[in-house]
Structure 1
Amino acid sequence: MNLTILGCYAATPRTLTNPTSQVLEIKNRMFLIDCGEGTQVQLRKNKIRFSKINHVFISHLHGDHVYGLIGLISTFSLLGRKNDLHIHGPKGIKEMMLVQLKLSASWTTYNLYFHELEGNESQIVFEDDKVIVRTIPLKHRVYTNGYLFEEKPAERKLHIGKVEDYGIDTCYYQKIKNGSDITLEDGRIVPNSELTFDPPAPKSYAFCSDTLYSEDILPVINNVDVLYHESTFLDTEEYLCEKTMHSTAKQAAAIAKKANAKHLLLGHFSTRYDSIELFKEEAQTVFENVELADDGKFFEF
Structure 2
Amino acid sequence: MEPFNVHILGCGSALPTLHHNSTCQIVEIRGKFFMIDCGEGTQIQIRRSRVNFSKIQAVFISHLHGDHCFGLLGMISTFGMLGRTAPLHVYAPSNFEEYLKHSMQMFCNRLEYEVVFHGLDTKKNIQIYEDKSLTVETIPLDHRIACCGFLFREKQTAPHIRRDMIDYYSIPISQINNIKAGADWKTEDGEVIPNERLTTPPLPARSYAYCSDTRYMENLHTMVEGVNLLYHESTYANDKADNAKLYYHSTAEQAATVARDARVGKLLLGHYSARYSNENQLLKEAREVFPNSFLSDEGQCIAVQ
| Alpha-carbon distance in 2 for matches of 1:191, 1:212 | 52
| Alpha-carbon distance in 1 for matches of 2:280, 2:217 | 24
Residue aligning to 2:160: 157
Q: Are residue 38 (structure 1) and residue 15 (structure 2) matched? A: no
Deviation per CA, 1:128-171: give whole Å up to 9, x if none. 00111111111111111100001101111111212232332221
1:228 pairs, out of 204, 228, 231, with: 231
2:56 pairs, out of 47, 53, 58, with: 53
Residue pair 2:77, 2:108 contacting (<8 A) in 1 also? no
> SS of the counterpart of 1:103?
helix
Residue aligning to 2:180: 177
Alpha-carbon offset, residue 105 of structure 1: 5.7
| Alpha-carbon distance in 1 for matches of 2:267, 2:69 | 24
| Alpha-carbon distance in 2 for matches of 1:262, 1:231 | 18
| Alpha-carbon distance in 2 for matches of 1:241, 1:280 | 16
1:140 pairs, out of 134, 140, 143, with: 143
| Alpha-carbon distance in 2 for matches of 1:39, 1:201 | 32
Amino acid at match of 1:297: Q
Residue pair 1:234, 1:282 contacting (<8 A) in 2 also? yes
* Structure 1 stretches of at least 4 aligned residues deviating more than 6 Å after TM superposition: none
How many residues are aligned here?
301
| Alpha-carbon distance in 1 for matches of 2:83, 2:30 | 26
| Alpha-carbon distance in 2 for matches of 1:104, 1:263 | 41
2:128 pairs, out of 121, 125, 132, with: 125
Residue pair 1:148, 1:207 contacting (<8 A) in 2 also? yes
Q: Are residue 3 (structure 1) and residue 30 (structure 2) matched? A: no
Amino acid at match of 1:170: I
**Structure 1 residues 105 and 286, CA, compared in 2 at 3 Å: closer, same or farther?**
closer
Amino acid at match of 1:41: I
Residue aligning to 1:77: 80
Alpha-carbon offset, residue 119 of structure 1: 5.0
Residue aligning to 1:277: 280
Deviation per CA, 1:73-121: give whole Å up to 9, x if none. 1111111211100001101222121111223363422011000012522
Q: Are residue 86 (structure 1) and residue 89 (structure 2) matched? A: yes
> SS of the counterpart of 1:237?
helix
Alpha-carbon offset, residue 267 of structure 1: 0.2
Residue aligning to 2:115: 112
| Alpha-carbon distance in 1 for matches of 2:191, 2:218 | 51
Amino acid at match of 2:66: G
1:237 pairs, out of 236, 240, 245, with: 240
Residue aligning to 1:249: 252
> SS of the counterpart of 1:215?
coil
Runs (5+) with no aligned partner, structure 1: none
* TM-score, length of structure 2 as denominator length: 0.95
Residue aligning to 1:207: 210
> SS of the counterpart of 2:76?
helix
Amino acid at match of 1:208: C
Residue pair 1:10, 1:64 contacting (<8 A) in 2 also? yes
Amino acid at match of 2:210: F
Amino acid at match of 2:136: V
Alpha-carbon offset, residue 185 of structure 1: 3.9
Alpha-carbon offset, residue 3 of structure 1: 1.4
Q: Are residue 296 (structure 1) and residue 269 (structure 2) matched? A: no
CA RMSD of aligned residues (A): 1.4
* TM-score, length of structure 1 as denominator length: 0.96
Residue aligning to 2:219: 216
Identity %: 41
| Alpha-carbon distance in 1 for matches of 2:138, 2:199 | 34
